[in-house]
Amino acid sequence: MKMRKINLEKTLGLLVLICVLAALTNRPAYAQIDPSGEWAPRFHEDQPERIPGPELGDYLGLPVNDAARLRADSWDATLLELPENQCRPHPSDYAWRGPAQLRIWKEIDRESQKLVAYHTHISWQAPEQTIWMDGRPQPPDYTPHTWQGFSTGKWEGDILAVTTTHLKEGWIRRNGVPRSDKATISTHIMRHGNYLTVAVIIYDPVYLSEPFIRTTDYFLDPQQEIAPYPCEPVIEVERPAGVVPNHLPGTNPFLLEFPANYGIPPEAARGGPETMYPEYRGKLATMKTLPKPAKRVPYN
Amino acid sequence: MMKILRNGRPLDISLILVATGFLGTIALIQLLRAQVNSSAQQTQRSPTQASAQPNAANAEVHILHVQGNVYMLVGAGGNITVQAGNDGVLLVDTGLAPASEKVVAAIRQISDKPIRYIINTHVHADHIGGNAAIAKLGSTIAGGNVVGTIGESATQGAAVIAFQNILDRMSAANTPDTATEGAWPTDTYTGFEKKMFFNGEGIEIIHAPSAHTDGDSVVFFHRSDVISTGDIFVTETYPVIDLKRGGSIQGILDTLNRLIAMSIPAEKQEGGTMFIPGHGRLCDQADVVFYQEMVTIIRDRIQDMINKGMTFEQVKAAKPTRDYDPRYGRTTGFWTTDMFVEAVYKNLSEKPAGKSASEER
């Protein structure tokens, strides 16, 4: 009987401890770790791609298919000069990558005090994304697609997991590698104190052979002020109506500059799912590179 | 994690975290895969196939308010535009004939005013099929000498406005476009455009020469800032070039360029002038620009191949559309990729080889 009594006391004690722990960790399900705040970007990841910009013909590490390669090979940067393209913001899956300050704030229903949505504002071209947290359904497929798309969020532990659809066509890399308007984006926003990590996974049945994931980091900056970003298109170069700058297949003269300048096998520069994985380094060592130019070939 | 704790299963917290993370990731991947699959299946659904469905009478017709006075009806074949106000109801296209009852029911959800006008963008059955059934329910505003001469019947039925070629095709005997008189346009125009004012806004009906067909019109609702494009602009397939009815790739491109020039996007190249395509989702200028870029690039490539003396079989083998095929291409159905390439090739081969845009630069 004594042994049983001791065991009972221990069990009760354990239960009380569990209840106390449960009570201490019992936070509302709608705001595990609030990502709201002013966030300054950090560029240690992929700096050459993000700040000076990607080089033409560099698809290395992207799980692109042949269709995406030809789209990118045909792409002419002069497209960005056309008035109708000048004020396009980055789509919500790419916007994090820009040299862009970030603000996140939450929208609360006054009566219930429940979280309705998170909103993001990014400085370059000032795109604003709404992440609905109120469980609303997706709009029908005949409604407009936008640069920021339609996003819903839910908590997965302390991670804000966001699903985005209804996007306009966008870009995976700013050298013409496309992302289609059929893509679904899964974004994971993770806050660790003063650091914010945003992981974006792109699922594109049109241009990607496998999902593509990348992360972007921010640091909390309460003193940050974001300036307005007005944009008004102008005619920079007179062109005949309807001209769309593009390279005909097999005629883009810039595609070999990247592999030549960096001593990368041209085949590797073409990208593809295989080039995402560490094992590819072994294969790289067996592949032929182009003769390195005596002087680095300028690319812009 | 909290649910597991509340259910009285005090497992090791690190184990719970790992398991939850693992299961959450699996669930998320499965969910996203399902969404991507669903999206891919939607890509495979051709609007032209959808428009040819025999059970259109059972199809669900959806209403989407665009902006201002204008609504879009989806599901009755081609998209239908409804402009409604105090003066009555104006339609752009009428969908497939079997869907007429559902179209009328949808219109009545928007307005109980009489149907006054129907504008036809082109002659295809998925856009004019409901003319007869819907027009007879409406009434035309008429009076004075018109009623005096014709009688009260002058006001019976909605006026059907179209480019002259549509009436010519529908009223010709024994052609694929032959239709009963009740479906014919009652008010045709020739030349560049026809203008009217209805429900407090100017409406511009602009002829697009030799584009999807030779009788195309696009309709611009000025105050609402909405343009109905007919099948010159669609979102799910390559443009259908109906060569037998006078269509041409250059006419489609000229009209797409004109649509871009006519429209003004709002902030961040989004919204502003909205476009109701012949098939597919509601769009803005940026969507038209993506489409125009695609059609122009493919035109440039095929023109370049023609200039080099390549035969159609050689052009087809070179796959000049292969970067756009996963998005717009079809291997089966009413309008396949091969049919599109053949139409462009034939069309561009009909005239002396011109310069591609890349050569013009």
The count of structural domains within chain A is 1
Give the domain ranges of chain B.
2-44, 47-292
Buried b (16+ CB within 10 A) or exposed e, B8-39: eebeeeeebeeeeeeebeeebeeebeebbeeb
B227 close contact with A: CB closer than 8 A = no
Stretch 46-85 of chain B: residues touching chain A, C-beta under 8 Å: 62, 64, 72, 74
Q: What is the DSSP string of B37-65?
A: HHHHHHHH--HHHHHT-TTGGGSPPEEEE
Stretch 151-170 of chain A: residues touching chain B, C-beta under 8 Å: 156-157, 161, 163, 165, 168-169
Whether residue A42 is contained in a domain is answered as yes
B96 close contact with A: CB closer than 8 A = no
Q: What is the pLDDT of residue A217?
A: 96
Among candidates B282, B287, B300 on the partner chain, residue whose Cβ is nearest the Cβ of A248: B300
Whether residue A251 is contained in a domain is answered as no
Q: For domain B47-292, give its CATH number from 3.40.50.300, 3.10.20.310, 3.60.40.10, 3.60.15.10.
A: 3.60.15.10
Contacts of A186 in chain B (CB under 8 A): 28, 32
pLDDT band with cut points at 50, 70 and 90 for residue B5:
very low
CA distance B141 to chain A (A): 34
Give every CB contact of residue B101 below 8 A, 6+ residues apart in sequence: B57, B133
pLDDT band with cut points at 50, 70 and 90 for residue B52:
very low
Give every CB contact of residue A10 below 8 A, 6+ residues apart in sequence: none
Q: What is the pLDDT of residue B175?
A: 93
- To probe the interface with A, which of B67, B281, B300, B314 has the most A CB atoms within 10 Å? B281
A24 close contact with B: CB closer than 8 A = no
A201 pLDDT more than 80: yes
Q: By residue range, what is the domain housing residue A153?
A: 37-220
Q: Do A165 and B284 touch (CB under 8 A)?
A: no
Question: Which letter does DSSP use for residue B268 in this model?
Answer: G
CA distance A245 to chain B (A): 7
| Closest residue of chain B to A183, computed from CA coordinates | B36
pLDDT band with cut points at 50, 70 and 90 for residue A299:
very low
Give every CB contact of residue A82 below 8 A, 6+ residues apart in sequence: A239, A244, A245
Q: What is the pLDDT of residue B302?
A: 98
Q: Which helix (H) or strand (E) holds B122?
A: none
What percentage of residues in chain A have a pLDDT greater than 90?
A: 79
Q: Do B40 and A244 touch (CB under 8 A)?
A: no
- To probe the interface with A, which of B65, B273, B323 has the most A CB atoms within 10 Å? B323
A31 close contact with B: CB closer than 8 A = no
Stretch 259-278 of chain A: residues touching chain B, C-beta under 8 Å: none
Whether residue A238 is contained in a domain is answered as no
Q: What is the pLDDT of residue B282?
A: 98
State both tokens at A80.
């960005």
Whether residue A13 is contained in a domain is answered as no
| Closest residue of chain B to A252, computed from CA coordinates | B358
pLDDT in tens, A91-105: 999 999 987 899 999
- To probe the interface with B, which of A24, A26, A169, A229 has the most B CB atoms within 10 Å? A169
Q: What is the pLDDT of residue A144?
A: 98
B88 pLDDT more than 50: yes
Among candidates A145, A240, A244 on the partner chain, residue whose Cβ is nearest the Cβ of B281: A145
Among candidates B35, B253, B269 on the partner chain, residue whose Cβ is nearest the Cβ of A87: B269
Q: Do A79 and B293 touch (CB under 8 A)?
A: yes
B43 pLDDT more than 50: no
Q: What is the number of residues in chain B?
A: 361
Q: What is the pLDDT of residue A13?
A: 67
Mean pLDDT to the nearest integer, B204-227: 98
Whether residue A234 is contained in a domain is answered as no
A279 close contact with B: CB closer than 8 A = no
First-to-final CA distance of chain A: 86
pLDDT band with cut points at 50, 70 and 90 for residue B17:
very low
Contacts of B64 in chain A (CB under 8 A): 140, 142-143
Contacts of A84 in chain B (CB under 8 A): 260, 265, 269, 285-286, 289
CA dihedral B253, B254, B259, B264 (to 10 degrees): 100
CA distance A297 to chain B (A): 24
ipTM: 0.88
Closest CA to B323 of B301, B308, B345, B306: B301
- To probe the interface with B, which of A14, A32, A141 has the most B CB atoms within 10 Å? A141
pLDDT in tens, B111-153: 999 999 999 999 999 999 999 999 999 998 877 777 677 776 7
Q: What is the pLDDT of residue A84?
A: 94
Question: Which letter does DSSP use for residue B93 in this model?
Answer: -
pLDDT band with cut points at 50, 70 and 90 for residue B356:
very low
Kindly report which listed range (A145-149, A193-197, B155-159, B259-263) carries the lowest average pLDDT score: B155-159
Whether residue A95 is contained in a domain is answered as yes
B244 close contact with A: CB closer than 8 A = no
